[in-house]
Structure 1
Amino acid sequence: MEAITGDHCNTEESRLYIFLSVVMSAEFILALPLNLSILYVFVFKFKFWKNNSLFLFNLVLADLLLLICLPFKVHNFVTGMRKSDDNIICKAMLFMLFLNRGASIAFLTVISVDRYFNVVHFGRKNFLKILKKSPHISILIWLLLLPLTVPTMLETFECCNSFGRAENHTLMTQVADFLRETVFFTQILIPFGVLVFCTVQINNRLRRKTVGDKTKLRRAVFLMASVVLVFTVCFLPLAVSRMILLIVRVREYAVAEKSVVQIYDALMCLSYSDCLLDPLVYCFCHSKFKEVYLSSVLPSRVKRQTHESERRVSRDLVNSIPLSSHKSVSEP
């Protein structure tokens, strides 16, 4: 089997990477105005600090910071490179990608755990219910994520020179490889396990409820389903492809490696679509957000729907009046 001792991050299939650059450009064009408008609504209309929506606000910030990286990735792919030739830009990009993807995953997990406690353990003391009203836990999450990005800065990650594949193979590179891969996989797999547990428990709670209004429970199930959707589409395929890529590289399957690298890069581009899927979480997490957002971004449509609903209600009221009442009114 042919071994590859180095990786200079060249794109061997130019047509594929041109297509991926088009996909990322579309994600950027669609997601940037969407998330900017959501940020505007959160700050000026929804007043997130009064509606216990600090976690959602931080999720929007993480998505916007992640979007900053897309034009650089597009430029690299168009010029035939998987990463920037400039070492400083490359490490800055890795830092931003890991920090903000980690923040997105962390806040999605915290939102889901908070909803789990509110539904399954309703009435008990919920520490998240207290902490989410203050910015302390959000600041703590960002601070805890900072040291987790350090391993990505030690050695190149973008081209996957891991476990003996780096040009200067030393004990330091082995430790950096182990830490980097551990952070990458645990950052995705452990939160996904937590999400599955919370989703199952909330769904069981909905099934056991035989009396009373189930609206809150159904909204919680939809929220968990939207978070699991984000993980299933954006993060899990990336983790699986990364695992396969590491196995192929360690066993030095040079022919298969070229195809697996392209699949990994394609799924990496797909992972950026969480910036388009996260608004589903906002709508299901807070019942009033969708109404406030639509009234702010599309006020004319909301007014038209309001007028139509008012006419419908008045028509139903008229139809509900007995026929004898109409006659009596019409008679002199």
Structure 2
Amino acid sequence: GTFLFILAVGLTLNMPVIWILVFRVKRWNRSTIFLCNLVLADITWILTLPFLIYYHLNQLHWIFGDALCKITRTIYHVCYYCSIYFVTCLSVDRYLAIVHPLKSLWLLNKQQSLLISLSIWAVTSLASVPVPFVASTQICPDNKTICSLYVFSSSTYITLPFSMCCTVVGCLLPFIAICYCYCSSVRTLQKTGLHHFQKRDKLTKLMYSVLIIFALLYFPYHLSRNTCIFLRALWPNGNRSIENADTVFFVEVAVCSLNTCINPLFCFLAGGDFRDQVCKIASSYCHTKTWRSQQQRTSVYPV
């Protein structure tokens, strides 16, 4: 049910965003590049959802083969961490623009932003290499084929250090960087006077949005994932606590996937040019609707 919701709402929100970024925003800057990559990461994962939706509707019986199972699980892992990194890049972009406005022009230009984006995709993909080796199809006693997550693998000597490393590098460090950027930015804006109040207010909203997303989506997901693997390492034969941890993790996977529906919010909060284009489109739509309404009234009640 959650995946169906994400497929419908995620595509509905992200496709117009990518259209506006590509076709309506004329002057691309570094934030536009990061926003575009954030949306691309979300759309890429959303496009794998039909396979997972059918898999769950088919009572966890995977019919698409081992290769597609590995690809689907790997795409989720890559896009999930790309999403976190691009949100972090947007935070760094805001930090540089506010705290180091002059230095930011040469510290992080468009070419460097593009290079950073490509590096994030490359490094995240390289770091996800273990996923297809431990996530694969398995045949159950009832002849049902499941597409297992690496979290449920018995190879905990691989999955535990891998998951812990991803937690530190892919979640904790970006969160610390984001907190530093936003705190420094707000402190700088407080010193500049009342004429930056509106800018500070927008930045504060963006900061709180990121903190809430980390608190509700990213941290619980990593905690439940590490717990599942840790319990398997302690009790390889399995027990009741492992089953409970697995259930919690399944819930967290569904909840955490909602970030693909929430990330378009960053486009509106962080992208000034994007926000301007949305306002122009909305204004144009309202103007057209008002004009048509007046035309209809004129035709019904001619002067």
Same fold (TM over 0.5): yes
| RMSD of Structure 2 on Structure 1 (CA) | 2.8
Aligned residues: 277
User: Residue in 2 aligned with 1:270?
Assistant: 255
Structure-1 separation of matches of 2:113 and 2:161: 36
| Distance in 2 (alpha carbons) for counterparts of 1:82 and 1:233 | 30
User: Is 1:148 matched up with 2:139?
Assistant: no
Letter in 2 for 1:99: V
C-alpha spacing 1:34/1:211, structure 2 compared with 1 (3 Å): closer
Name the counterpart of 1:81: 60
**What residue is the counterpart of 1:6 in the other structure?**
none
Once the 2 structures are TM-superposed, how far is the Cα of residue 251 of structure 1 from its aligned partner?
2.8
Tell me which moved more, 283-292 or 34-43. Answer: 283-292
**Match for residue 137 of structure 1 among 103, 108, 116:** 116
Q: Which residue pairs with 1:9 in the alignment?
A: none
Q: Can you list the C-alpha shifts for 1:67-125, whole angstroms capped at 9, x where unaligned?
A: 01222222222223287773211110122111111211111111101211222233334
What's the CA shift for 1:247? 3.0
Q: CA deviation at 1:304?
A: 7.0
1:193 is the counterpart of 2:176:
yes
Match of 2:166 in 1: 183
The code of the aligned residue for 1:139 comes to L
User: Does the 8 Å CA contact 1:41/1:296 hold for their aligned counterparts?
Assistant: no
Local SS of the residue matching 1:49: coil
Larger deviation, residues 260-269 vs 127-136: 127-136
Verify: 1:202 aligned to 2:185, yes or no: yes
Q: Please tell me the residue identity of whatever aligns with 1:273.
A: L
* Cα drift, residue 139 of structure 1: 1.6
Note closer, same or farther for the CA distance 1:195–1:134 as it changes in structure 2 (3 Å cut): closer
| Whole-angstrom distance in 1 between the partners of 2:27 and 2:35 | 8
Q: Which residue of 1 aligns with 2:28?
A: 49
Between Structure 1 and Structure 2, the one with more helix by share is 2
Q: Percent identity?
A: 21
- Kept after mapping to 2: 8 A contact 1:102/1:187: yes
Name the amino acid aligned to 1:160.
Answer: V
Moved more, 135-144 or 289-298: 289-298
With over 3 angstroms needed to count, the CA separation of the structure-2 counterparts of 1:205 and 1:134, relative to structure 1, is closer
Match of 2:16 among 37, 44, 61: 37
* 2:219 aligned with 1:236: yes
Alpha-carbon offset, residue 132 of structure 1: 5.7
Aligned to 1:251: 234
Q: Distance in 2 between matches of 1:188 and 1:84?
A: 33
What is the aligned partner in structure 2 of residue 227 from structure 1? 210
Structure 2: how far apart are the matches of 1:233 and 1:83?
30
Name the structure 1 match of 2:51.
Answer: 72
Q: TM-score, normalised by structure 1?
A: 0.73
Partner of 1:317: none
Q: Deviations over 1:182-210 (max 9, x none)?
A: 22553122111211222222233344444
Point out the structure with max Rg over C-alpha.
Answer: 1
d(CA) in 1 for partners of 2:225 and 2:287?
A: 45
Unaligned runs of 5+ in 1: 1-21, 167-172, 306-332
